[in-house]
Structure 1
Amino acid sequence: MWYHISDWNAVYDNAPNTPRGADWPAAWVEPAATFRTDQAAKGLLEADLSYGPGARQIFDLFRPATQPKGLVVFVHGGFWMGLDKSYWSHLAAGPLAQGYAVAIPSYTLAPEARIHAMTQEIGAAITAAAAKIAGPLRLVGHSAGGHLVTRMVCEDTPLAPELRDRIAAVLSISGLHDLRPMRNIWRNATLAIDAAEAVSESPALQVPLAGTRLTAWAGAMETSEFLRQNALIANIWAGLGVATRAVVEPNRHHFNVIDGMALPDHPLVAALLDLPA
């Protein structure tokens, strides 16, 4: 069977390809706000911590009730041009229940920033959060956030050597790992990805750090391109000596595939924290 894409927008637009896709991102607002309020009332939230001079260069830090076992950093999606840290707070619940602190940063979006600059900002956000929490670092991102966390474990990472050595696992959920197709979609009028940046910012086209452990995770109901991107990074990086696995979760689409992060015993959390499945 031939695989040929004639309409790039159709295979990268998630809402039209998802049942009740118009319900998101609004569906995340209330649970995220409720979770932030609850954690703040317990004195377990440090909100709007700065990692740089920009208005969006801030992060929230959620602490567990006990001494943290380490730090999880969750990087949000939005095709590098939408949303912020406030939509995802409730997804900290799973790692928190397992004893990990969780940092969720915002970052400057297109068109104000190019993707290369976002990579540098996420490096700065991880650096600032890691200075507050000792122990292993575990990175997780969704969609464009999956791209950004995998960029952190490429050889040209913005992270200092001592932070690279702390990274225990990377989980890319519905991540975008080869940016060359992004030049064909309507969003590139805002993203302005050129041929050079499409190569330099594609984790699938870069050399991963030695010792990296990557899980690529997607929902079975996602579009063919998100499923292909998920398989792609695991396949290519396995060939470069990285420990990888690609998981396709049944009955999940692009928007609800992250729901498991809120559940301490979900396989998604187990994959991130190296817990028994």
Structure 2
Amino acid sequence: MDYDLAYANADFIPNATAYPPRWAREAEEFRAARKDHTRLGLSYGDTPREAFDLFLPDGDPRGLVVFVHGGYWLAFGREDWSGFAAGPVARGWAVAMPSYPLAPKARLRDITRAVARAVARAAREVEGPVVLAGHSAGGHLVARMNCSDALLPEVAARRLRRIVAISPLADLRPLTHTRMNADLRLDAAEAQAESPVLGTPRHEIATLVWVGAEERPAFLDQAIWLTEAWDEARLHIAPGRHHFDVLDPLKYAESPMVDALLAD
């Protein structure tokens, strides 16, 4: 099996290079439109990447969504994704979007713990239930928050209503066979320890695994593996969506994804 080909998303998405600039443009536009309801660069750690942006609704927040971005733990930051806060914010929820340390400077175990600190810190800013959403590598990271060894403080874990893992990487062992592992530096032990499917004791938080029907077979497999591994997980396969546009419904208040994210 060619693992590099199996996990190459952009090579199989028409006009894939147009997506990141569009995300960045929409993010800037959203921040400008919501500048009076936005708090940027709130720190949760000692490095510049350990910070989050907080987008507030017009009234008192009904709760908090924390969205964790993807990029194979190697790329992007919070400033690229602001536009995807639009749907939950329009429904009266606050949205926190953290950056986190990236590989190769950071190991995945350190990234996991950074996200746990980000969730805990953001939860101190907003009262009410907390929902986690993440895409791709971010889907892996929010799924890890269901695992007790991720070191999410119990005071934050008790407030978690739901995890929505969008196109997540749930078993990291295949990635040890890819060229990107030169930067990820996953060995067998860390790949197992950081894989949500591999039996780490869990908080048993309701989890929705959302994946596009047109994604690479490897990502459909990853979604299915997580659903099969966790009794608390349910699978949704979105018709006609690939790895990049699977996120688009987050921008729309009445979309099925936002409905599922914020359901009571």
TM-score bucket (shorter structure): over 0.9
Selected match of 1:141 from 119, 134, 146: 134
- Which of residues 9, 13, 29 in structure 1 aligns to 2:8? 13
Residue aligning to 1:228: 221
Question: 1:245 deviation in Å?
Answer: 1.1
Offset of residue 232 of structure 1 = 0.9
Distance 2:199 2:84 in 1: 29
Q: Deviations over 1:193-233 (max 9, x none)?
A: 01100000001113353441000011111000000101110
> Which position in structure 2 is the counterpart of 1:3?
none
Taking the aligned partners of 1:257 and 1:129, their CA distance within structure 2 comes to 25
Contact 1:155 1:206 in 2 (8 A): no
Instruction: Calculate the aligned-residue CA RMSD, in Å.
Output: 1.0
Residues 62-211 of structure 1 mapped to structure 2, 5 A cutoff: 62-207=55-200, 209-211=202-204
Partners of 1:75 and 1:140 within 8 A in 2: yes
Find the counterpart in structure 2 of residue 272 from structure 1. 261
Give 1:103's aligned amino acid.
Answer: A
> Structure 2: which 5+ runs fail to align?
none
Of the candidates 235, 243, 249, which is equivalent to residue 254 of structure 1? 243
In 1, the alpha carbon distance for the partners of 2:111 and 2:46 equals 14
**What is the CA–CA distance in structure 2 between the aligned matches of 1:136 and 1:207, rounded to whole Å?**
24
SS at match of 1:227: helix
Task: Work out which of the residue numbers 3, 21, 24 in structure 1 matches 2:19.
Answer: 24
Instruction: Name the CA shift for 1:48/1:9 in 2 (closer, same or farther; >3 Å).
Output: same
State TM-score, norm by structure 1: 0.93
2:30 alignment counterpart: 35
Count of aligned pairs: 264
CA offset at residue 11 of structure 1? 1.0
How far the C-alpha of 1:169 sits from its partner, in A, is 0.3
| CA deviation map 1:54-101 (0-9, x unaligned) | 110110000000111110000000000001011110110111111110
CA distance in 2, matches of 1:204, 1:247: 17
Q: Residue 49 of structure 2 corresponds to which residue in structure 1?
A: 56
Worse-matched range after superposition: 162-171 or 209-218: 209-218
Q: 1:92 to 1:14 in 2, by over 3 A?
A: same
Secondary structure at the aligned position of 2:170 is classed as: coil
Could you tell me how far apart the structure 2 residues matched to 1:207 and 1:9 are?
A: 27
- Identical aligned pairs, as a percentage? 43
Which consecutive unaligned segments of at least 5 residues does structure 1 have?
1-5
- What amino acid is the match of 2:22? A
Residue 160 of structure 1: how far off its partner (Å): 1.2
Please tell me whether the aligned partners of residues 46 and 62 of structure 1 are also in contact (alpha carbons under 8 angstroms): yes
- The TM-score, its normalising length taken from structure 2, stands at 0.98
Aligned residue identity for 1:11? A
Secondary structure of 2:133 counterpart = strand
